[in-house]
Structures are given as C-alpha cells and as structure tokens.
Amino acid sequence: MGPPGAGKGSQASRITTKYEMPSISTGQMFRDAYNAGESIGINAMEFIKDGNLVSDDITNEIVRLRLHKEDTTTSFLLDGFPRTVAQAIALDGMLVDMDSNLDAVINILSSHDVLFERMEQRRVCKKCGATYHLRFKTPSVDGVCDVCSGELYQREDDSHESVKRRLEIYETKTKPLLEYYSDRGILYHVNGMQDFDKVTEDIFLVLDDIK
Ligand code: ADP
Ligand code: ADP
Ligand code: ZN
C-alpha cells in the first residue's frame, strides 16, 4: 500500500523476484488490457486518465479472476489493491474461498512533494510495464526499455491535474484502509523517501521476519 508514486510497483518487482511469487497489480492489469484494446481496459481508462478509481465491482472481479490462476496457490503479492474498504472486504471473502490469508501489509510512506516529482518524471514501458524515472532510474537508451526494448511513454494519469486528484482520492478512500489492517496487527510502515535499495532492504527485513 501507499499513495500513488510511493514506489509500490518498483518495490513489488524486487519482492517478487526475491520471494518467487507473482505480482498482481490492478493498475498494470488495467493498462495491459487497454493497450491490448480490450473493452475492460478501454472502459477503465475513462476513469484512470482523470485520476479517478475504477469501480469496486470491476476491480474486484479482475482480481478474483486473477487469483484463480494456478500460480497463486503458494503465495502472491498484491500491488495497488485493495484501495477502498469495500475492496478489502471483498478480498477477505476471496481469501476465505481460496483458504488463504494475508501475512503482511506494507505501507510505503512519502511526502506529497516527492510524489509529484516522481510521477512527473515517471516513464513506463508500453510492452512490459517496467518503470523508469528521468533522473533516478534512467534507461540506457533514451525512450527505450532496458528489459524488452519496448517504447517508454508517460502515463496519461501522471499529468499534474490527475496526480492532484489521485492524491485526494488516496487520502479519502484508501488511507482509511490502514486502520483496517493495523487493527489486525499486520500493518508495517516503510519510509519510501530513501533510495531504491534502502527501501527494499527495509521491506525485506519485515518480510524475512514474518516468514
Ligand atoms: P507506484 O507504483 O507507487 O505508483 P512507482 O514504483 O511506479 O510507484 O514509482 C514512481 C516513480 O518514482 C517511478 O518513476 C520510479 O522510478 C520512481 N521511484 C520509485 N521509488 C523511488 C526511490 N526510492 N527513489 C527515487 N525514485 C523512485
Ligand atoms: P499508482 O499507484 O501510481 O496510482 P496504479 O498503477 O496502482 O498507479 O493505478 C493506476 C490507476 O488505476 C489508479 O489511479 C486507478 O484509476 C486505477 N486502479 C488501480 N488499482 C485500482 C483499485 N484497486 N481500485 C480502483 N482503481 C484502481
Ligand atoms: Zn519493457
């Protein structure tokens, strides 16, 4: 968990590499569906581009279908889901159905100034979703993904206006979830305003401890 731009996606890929589990990113699933011309992605993008949330029904359904795949039986990481209390309640139901449970919720903290800067400088690969930053994580060749040579682009929702809206929505809809998980004793905070490796190190300390 964490506000937009906190580093969830960047850290998710490091976590899933180390602990060998799939990363389930709702934002990435929506963008992939949009880039593939699928109607669910095209409909979702109407909300996403202005910085609004996609409806709980659509989001829960996309996660439910994804969790049904075989690679989630041992472990999995959720990135960007749940984002509302209704989604958290729906997730609890899905976990009961699969006889699974949440071990930890990692909350990546950051200030609004840092978040604005990060999102304005963020570039994403159209093909594989890898994320870059024009100053802190530059690709070897301008505009080209190091991983797959795909084209890098700026997300439409990383415009100043959309970022403002996303931060407002984070405060009102998503932040209340922190209490939901701290009440269960599974919430851990990590300072996201440190460099990539230090954030990763702090997350690994938490996860190694609960394993
Ligand atoms: P989120 O998934 O939470 O929106 P991302 O992982 O996409 O966040 O990161 C947002 C932007 O900030 C990207 O451009 C990324 O390269 C950059 N970024 C992420 N973590 C750090 C960090 N610790 N230091 C500097 N830049 C970072
Ligand atoms: P970020 O963390 O930078 O906001 P994401 O890739 O997680 O980026 O999400 C991008 C957008 O996709 C969100 O602003 C929202 O419109 C939509 N989205 C992603 N996850 C959810 C979710 N769980 N519920 C509703 N909308 C979502
Ligand atoms: Zn790529």
Pocket test for ligand 1, best of 107, 137, 201 (most atoms within 8 A of CB): 137
| pLDDT score of 210 | 87
**Residue 147: how many other CB atoms lie within 10 Å:** 12
Residue with tokens 């990546």: 108
Residue with tokens 């994804």: 66
* Nearest atom within ligand 1 for CA of residue 27: 2
Amino acid at 61: E
Q: Tokens for 185?
A: 């004793």
Select which of 14, 31, 83, 118 is catalytic: 83
Pocket test for ligand 2, best of 28, 54, 122, 153 (most atoms within 8 A of CB): 54
Residue with tokens 């992939």: 32
Q: Per-residue pLDDT tens for 167-179?
A: 999 999 999 999 9
pLDDT class for 159, splitting at 50, 70, 90? Answer: very high
**Residue 163: how many other CB atoms lie within 10 Å:** 22
| pLDDT score of 129 | 93
Please, which residues have CB less than 5 A from ligand 3, an ion? Answer: 125, 127-128, 130, 145, 147-148, 150
